[in-house]
Amino acid sequence: MKKLCLLLVFLLLISVSAQAQVTRDDAMKPLPSAADPAAPQPFSDPTPQDKLEIWFGRVGVCDAFVIRCNGETMMVDGGNMFYVRHANLFINTIGLTAVDYLFNTHHHDDHIEAMESLVRRDLLKAKVFLTPYPRDYNNSYQKKMQATVDNKGIEYRQLVDGDTMYLGGENGALFQFFRWDGSTDPNASSMFCKITYKGSSVLLMADVIGVAQQELAKTRTDIPWKSDVLKAGHHGYTPQDPDLLSMISPELCVIPNSRAGADACVKQMIQNDIPWLVTNGGTIYMVTEGGAEWRYSVDRAVF
């Protein structure tokens, strides 16, 4: 009788697990395993508009991402001046000369300097600049970016916790912006966002890590944490908060760092059986038409 009960419990667990799995097209290769994290994968791309595309740029140990949906484009952060050449090569490689939106998560140099340089030198044009800071915010990097934005006639728009917008119209990707107000530290209070498109989702955690993640996991039950893809907080220098990682429960983690630089975070992903990719392995391109189904490839071009 005891063996029969154990068998029934085991079968029940298998059933629950199967229901929770993300369904993937048979033509798509599976996500990489934790033991082989960065194997390039080919994909077909039949539809020119009805999709969400994300490029995680190979721009040193910096955040530099491009998101496109239904004809509109956003660049998130951009790296620092040391890697400005990489940032320029990144946007050139994907044929980007203009975006609808620039979004800066916080004013640290590895997130804003290269973006400001590209815009100032007319290598990247934009319509709207999104920032969590008001115009009178007293920081040298932020002031320089604001001056460049004003000089180029770009709209300056402050975001606050809870703001939302669509990229690509009402049928496009929904962006939900969040920010922890428990610290004045630029990393802890950097603005992160959840992106949802037809049932597919990505969580970009900016540089939020440590106590900020712990408090968010405890207090922000209003945030829809569960996401297909997680961009690790603060370049994966340290592990993500275990409780928050469990709430997010990603199918893949993208880390803007090298394998060695993100060693603790990578080990955490392996222990939790979460496939991972690092941007120093190459620019990562991801695409979805919805339904929590993603395809990706890794561009290993040497800069």
Domain at 245, CATH number = 3.60.15.10
Residue 267, in any domain of the structure: yes
Asked if the model's pLDDT at residue 52 lies above 90, the reply is yes
Q: What is the mean pLDDT of residues 260-281?
A: 95
Looking at residue 154, its pLDDT comes to 98
Looking at residue 297, its pLDDT comes to 84
Domain count, the chain: 1
> What's the token pair of residue 267?
């080990």
pTM (2 d.p.): 0.85
> What's the token pair of residue 48?
């020119």
> Mean pLDDT score of the chain, rounded to an integer?
85
CA distance 97 to 48: 19
Looking at residue 301, its pLDDT comes to 56
Question: Pick from 142, 175, 181, 146: which is nearest to 161 by CA?
Answer: 181
Asked if the model's pLDDT at residue 198 lies above 80, the reply is yes
- Contact call for residues 244 and 225 (beta carbons, < 8 A): yes
Strand pairing of 98-103 and 72-77?
parallel
**What percent of the chain is modeled with pLDDT above 90?**
75
Residue 57, in any domain of the structure: yes
* Helices and strands in the chain, H and E counts: 7, 15
Residue 194, in any domain of the structure: yes
Q: Which of 296 and 113 is assigned the larger pLDDT?
A: 113
Return the sign of the alpha-carbon dihedral for residues 34, 37, 42, 48.
positive
Q: Which of 36 and 115 is assigned the larger pLDDT?
A: 115
71-101, pLDDT tens digit by residue? 899 999 999 999 999 999 888 888 889 999 9
Q: Which of 135 and 95 is assigned the larger pLDDT?
A: 135
Asked if the model's pLDDT at residue 66 lies above 90, the reply is yes
CA distance 164 to 81: 30
Res. 186 pLDDT band, cuts 50 70 90: very high
Residue 24, in any domain of the structure: no
> What's the token pair of residue 41?
């994968």
Point out which residues pair with 166 in neighbouring strands: 174
Residue 231, in any domain of the structure: yes
Looking at residue 300, its pLDDT comes to 62
State which residues form the domain around 76. Answer: 33-299
Residue 152, in any domain of the structure: yes
Looking at residue 298, its pLDDT comes to 84
136-146, pLDDT tens digit by residue? 999 999 999 99
Res. 303 pLDDT band, cuts 50 70 90: very low
Highest mean pLDDT among 39-43, 227-231, 299-303: 227-231
Asked if the model's pLDDT at residue 253 lies above 60, the reply is yes
Looking at residue 282, its pLDDT comes to 86
Res. 296 pLDDT band, cuts 50 70 90: confident
In three-state form (DSSP H/G/I as H, E/B as E, the rest C), the secondary structure along 216-278 is HHHHCCCCCCCCCEEECHHHHCCCCCHHHHHHHCCCEEEECCCCCCCHHHHHHHHHCCCCEEE
Residue 22, in any domain of the structure: no
Asked if the model's pLDDT at residue 206 lies above 60, the reply is yes
Residue 52, in any domain of the structure: yes
Q: What is the mean pLDDT of residues 155-171?
A: 97
Strand pairing of 276-278 and 98-103?
unpaired
Q: What is the mean pLDDT of residues 32-39?
A: 42
How many Cα neighbours within 13 Å face the side chain of 283?
23
Beta strands in the chain (DSSP E): 52-56, 64-69, 72-77, 98-103, 125-131, 155-158, 164-167, 173-178, 192-197, 200-204, 229-231, 252-255, 276-278, 283-290, 293-299
